[in-house]
A and B are shown apart, each in its own frame.
Chain A
Amino acid sequence: MRTDALLLDRDLKLVLGSRDIDAPVPGEVLVRVAWAGVCGSDLHVLASGAWVAYWPATLGHEVAGVVEKCPGGEIPLGVTVVVDSRLPCGECPGCSRAPSLCHNMTWLGESRPGGFARFLVVPVTSVVACPDGTEAAIAVLAEPLSVAMHAVSRLAARPPGPALVLGYGPVGALVHLELVRRWPGLAVFVSEPNTERAELALALGAQVVAGPALATGDIAAGTGDGVPAGREFALVVDAAGYPQSLVAASRAVANGGTVLVVALSGQAVPVVPSELVERAISIVGCIGFDDELPQAVGLLASAPDRYRPLVTEAVLLEEAPRRLAEMGRRPSVGKVVVRPWRD
């Protein structure tokens, strides 16, 4: 069968087109995509072609849709599901410990056609059914929320002091919401130069530091590199990934504190071992998620309005090529979701 799809070819031009997909066999489901979220990694692929194993590619690994066919009958037709983005090899030493530690991990969209398409065929084990009544446009946040939940789970305990989040894109915002969900009352500060993102942070209860001059909040004086002066943070989350953001995060964290790195930055930064030792700083990385996807679905289904403000843009299939192409120079405020089919 053929499906409407966004196609990315080797020339890195994103176009509206269609592609063949195999009909599902027992053990697989055909999902009619309702919404597919745009991830920062999609933008990286669009700009670089990195990680793609087939051409033309159809990206999109944050997917919510409806089961259209299920030959094995494992899931009733019409059920709203979210799709697991991970494709671990299942055979390496990393996989023996946890899927997120796979040495050969690939992702939906990069090694096989993803969710920027009307239809998608995936193993039935790669979908999580949503409770009745779940809005697909909320459920599409399940994958990035799982990433945020997994990142926060990398912390050993509640931070003993305030947290600072560098960068308030979708991942920074989800990490913020997860921090305060898990530890109510935890003071979360946000450093974000984009006015609308900073306003979103304020609206969701964060304190904005070293951000733009907003009309609607108290902004503390910063040091000019995104880190507020005069505070010690027990936790600093690097969700920005700008050049030297890890250095800034390490400087902002209190002695004995943790820097949690969730942003993908390829730039080398200096590490001074004696500083790590003498200040007892932990730098913690994280990738993907393990068993968080069903929990994320549950959270989104039970409290949709808590997460609703994070979806700030929705584009139709025909609007998507232009908007995605310009997102590098005109970033979104929050999550952009694509409705990848025409009526």
Chain B
Amino acid sequence: MAGLTEYLEARVRGVPAYRPGRPSPGPTAGKLSSNEAPLGPAPEVLAALASPWLSVNRYPEQAAAVEAMAAGAGTTPEHVVLTNGSDELCYLVANLLLGPGRVAVLGDPCYQIDATASLLSGAELRRVPLREDGCHDLRAMARACAGASVVWLPSPHNPTGAACRPDEIDELLEAVPDDCLVVLDEAYRAFADPDMQPDVGRLLARHPNLLVQRTLSKDWALAGLRVGYGIAAPELIEVLARSRPPFSVNAVALAAFQAAAGNEAWRSMSVGRVRHERRLLQSALASGGVAYYPSQANFVTARLEASFLGPALAATGTVVRAGEDLGLPGWVRISIGWAPQMAVLRGVLASGQRQPGNEPGRETVTTTKGA
């Protein structure tokens, strides 16, 4: 037994434990720590989950959902693989392409699951510091790709919310060797400005070593049901599907997605609200002289000590994510929530700025195109 324990400890050595965002001490609307959808899913989703036609005694049937997802992504079903949240895709990629002696390139700080999946495979991590504006340094990443097998590229990035410009992604793909897979994680794509959303159809047609990763946890508001998908060349999709457990996305999740897909207006409305509240929060941070990464996602990461914000927010039933959890000590990541919750948060920020001796750092606000 001692041998087994030692072996297991060695396997996870250096792998950070995942710490989910803390729940709100009050109503769930106060949870601004996990980048969830504040309005929840479309009413049709709740109706579908209560439907007597939802058969849980049968194995899930994916074909219709894959077809709908492919159509929504402007492609065809052979280009799409469905996964149990987009995180499952990280593990599939790591299992297939990484391992001892192989190299994964990623930003620093990075999306934690990318690092975890890579480390568990035994691969070496080659970390490339982000630029000052929170964006990936794509030229440095391209240089780091020599001999690498995978590049993890979330855009908009978590934890900064900064997005790569489409022309920069083009340049990266041109520079990366053909035998290195680029995983473009678009979990937060829907919240980005239109000109910051790359034309993935065009990119996929030119680069068979590109895998686009999507999730239904954010703009689709299905985080609790765990649905994600990848888009890539059919040859890569076939391999990913073969290595994945056959029914990793369950029937309830599939029914929910199909119901959600029938109400595009709900998704569009929800995204519009998030973008509006994001503007208000960034404006409040800027007017208070608080540094933040201009965000293209459904959160804003600001240079505020959690110890400064935490108690005042807790009194209002609001919880945000401490940057220490995300590789950004001294910062907090604030998920965009429902309008009243965001007003409460602006009030706490304003109140903190009025307290003598309690002022957040007055620094130049970071700005980029598209902010």
Q: Footprint of B on A, CB under 8 Å? A: 35, 133, 135, 137, 196, 199-200, 202-205, 214-217, 305-306, 308-309, 311-316, 318, 337, 339, 342-343
A-B contact pairs, 28 of them (CB 8 A): A35-B340, A137-B29, A137-B338, A196-B272, A202-B265, A214-B265, A216-B264, A216-B265, A216-B268, A217-B264, A308-B40, A311-B338, A311-B339, A312-B339, A314-B339, A314-B340, A314-B343, A314-B344, A315-B343, A316-B343, A316-B346, A316-B347, A337-B339, A339-B340, A339-B347, A342-B351, A343-B350, A343-B351
Among all A-B residue pairs, the 10 with the closest Cβ atoms: A343-B351, A202-B265, A314-B343, A137-B340, A203-B266, A314-B340, A314-B339, A203-B265, A216-B265, A203-B269
Question: What is the number of contacts between chain A and chain B, taking CB atoms within 8 Å?
Answer: 76
Cα A137 to Cα B345 in complex, Å, equals: 14
Cα A318 to Cα B339 in complex, Å, equals: 16
The dominant DSSP class at the B interface is: helix
B27 on the A face (CB < 8 A): yes
Residue of A nearest to B312 (CB): A343
Known: A311-B340, A342-B351. 16 other contacts (CB 8 A): A35-B340, A133-B27, A137-B338, A199-B265, A199-B268, A203-B42, A203-B266, A205-B43, A205-B263, A216-B265, A308-B38, A311-B339, A314-B341, A316-B350, A318-B350, A337-B340
Please tell me which one of the listed residues A135, A196, A204, A343 contacts residue B348 in the complex, with CB atoms under 8 A apart.
A343
Which chain B residues numbered 315 to 369 have a C-beta less than 8 Å away from chain A?
338-344, 346-348, 350-351
Q: Footprint of A on B, CB under 8 Å? A: 27, 29, 38-40, 42-44, 263-266, 268-269, 272-273, 312, 338-344, 346-348, 350-351
Complex interface: chain B residues within 8 A of A313 (CB)? 339
Complex interface: chain A residues within 8 A of B347 (CB)? 316, 339, 342-343
Cα A308 to Cα B264 in complex, Å, equals: 18
Cα A188 to Cα B305 in complex, Å, equals: 49
Complex interface: chain B residues within 8 A of A203 (CB)? 42, 263, 265-266, 268-269
Cα A342 to Cα B40 in complex, Å, equals: 29
A134 vs chain B, min Cβ distance (A): 9
If A203-B42, A203-B263, A217-B265 touch, does A339 touch B343 (CB 8 Å cutoff)?
yes
Complex interface: chain B residues within 8 A of A137 (CB)? 29, 338, 340-341
Evaluate contact between A309 and B269: CB separation under 8 angstroms: yes
Cα A312 to Cα B38 in complex, Å, equals: 12
Cα A316 to Cα B264 in complex, Å, equals: 31
If A135-B27, A314-B343, A342-B351 touch, does A308 touch B268 (CB 8 Å cutoff)?
no
B223 vs chain A, min Cβ distance (A): 15
B239 vs chain A, min Cβ distance (A): 35
Complex interface: chain A residues within 8 A of B43 (CB)? 204-205, 306
Cα A313 to Cα B273 in complex, Å, equals: 9
Cα A133 to Cα B27 in complex, Å, equals: 7
Cα A199 to Cα B264 in complex, Å, equals: 10
Complex interface: chain A residues within 8 A of B344 (CB)? 314, 339
Residue of A nearest to B346 (CB): A316
A190 vs chain B, min Cβ distance (A): 12
B114 vs chain A, min Cβ distance (A): 32
Cα A316 to Cα B272 in complex, Å, equals: 21
Residue of B nearest to A135 (CB): B27
Complex interface: chain A residues within 8 A of B29 (CB)? 135, 137, 308
Complex interface: chain B residues within 8 A of A35 (CB)? 340
Evaluate contact between B338 and A308: CB separation under 8 angstroms: yes
Residue of B nearest to A205 (CB): B43
B197 vs chain A, min Cβ distance (A): 15
Residue of B nearest to A202 (CB): B265
Cα A192 to Cα B340 in complex, Å, equals: 25
Complex interface: chain B residues within 8 A of A339 (CB)? 340, 343-344, 347
Residue of B nearest to A133 (CB): B27
Complex interface: chain A residues within 8 A of B268 (CB)? 199, 203, 215-216
Cα A35 to Cα B39 in complex, Å, equals: 19
Cα A309 to Cα B269 in complex, Å, equals: 9
Complex interface: chain B residues within 8 A of A337 (CB)? 339-340
Complex interface: chain A residues within 8 A of B348 (CB)? 343
Complex interface: chain A residues within 8 A of B346 (CB)? 316
Cα A133 to Cα B29 in complex, Å, equals: 12
Complex interface: chain B residues within 8 A of A205 (CB)? 43-44, 263
Evaluate contact between B342 and A312: CB separation under 8 angstroms: no
Residue of B nearest to A206 (CB): B265
Cα A305 to Cα B47 in complex, Å, equals: 13
Complex interface: chain B residues within 8 A of A215 (CB)? 268
Residue of B nearest to A308 (CB): B39
Which of B268, B338, B339 has most chain A Cβ within 10 Å? Answer: B339
B333 vs chain A, min Cβ distance (A): 21
Residue of B nearest to A313 (CB): B339
Cα A214 to Cα B263 in complex, Å, equals: 13
Cα A315 to Cα B347 in complex, Å, equals: 9
Evaluate contact between A305 and B343: CB separation under 8 angstroms: no
Cα A342 to Cα B350 in complex, Å, equals: 9
Complex interface: chain B residues within 8 A of A315 (CB)? 343
Complex interface: chain B residues within 8 A of A135 (CB)? 27, 29
Complex interface: chain A residues within 8 A of B44 (CB)? 205
Cα A200 to Cα B267 in complex, Å, equals: 10
Complex interface: chain A residues within 8 A of B312 (CB)? 343
Residue of B nearest to A201 (CB): B265
A36 vs chain B, min Cβ distance (A): 12
B76 vs chain A, min Cβ distance (A): 23
Complex interface: chain A residues within 8 A of B264 (CB)? 216-217
If A199-B265, A343-B350 touch, does A314 touch B39 (CB 8 Å cutoff)?
no
A180 vs chain B, min Cβ distance (A): 10
Cα A343 to Cα B311 in complex, Å, equals: 13
B298 vs chain A, min Cβ distance (A): 16
Complex interface: chain B residues within 8 A of A312 (CB)? 273, 339
Complex interface: chain A residues within 8 A of B351 (CB)? 342-343
Evaluate contact between B39 and A309: CB separation under 8 angstroms: yes
Cα A314 to Cα B338 in complex, Å, equals: 9
Please tell me which one of the listed residues B269, B339, B340 contacts residue A200 in the complex, with CB atoms under 8 A apart.
B269
Cα A339 to Cα B264 in complex, Å, equals: 32
Please tell me which one of the listed residues B266, B342, B350 contacts residue A314 in the complex, with CB atoms under 8 A apart.
B342
Complex interface: chain B residues within 8 A of A216 (CB)? 264-265, 268
Cα A314 to Cα B345 in complex, Å, equals: 11
Complex interface: chain A residues within 8 A of B341 (CB)? 137, 314
Complex interface: chain A residues within 8 A of B266 (CB)? 203
Evaluate contact between B39 and A305: CB separation under 8 angstroms: yes
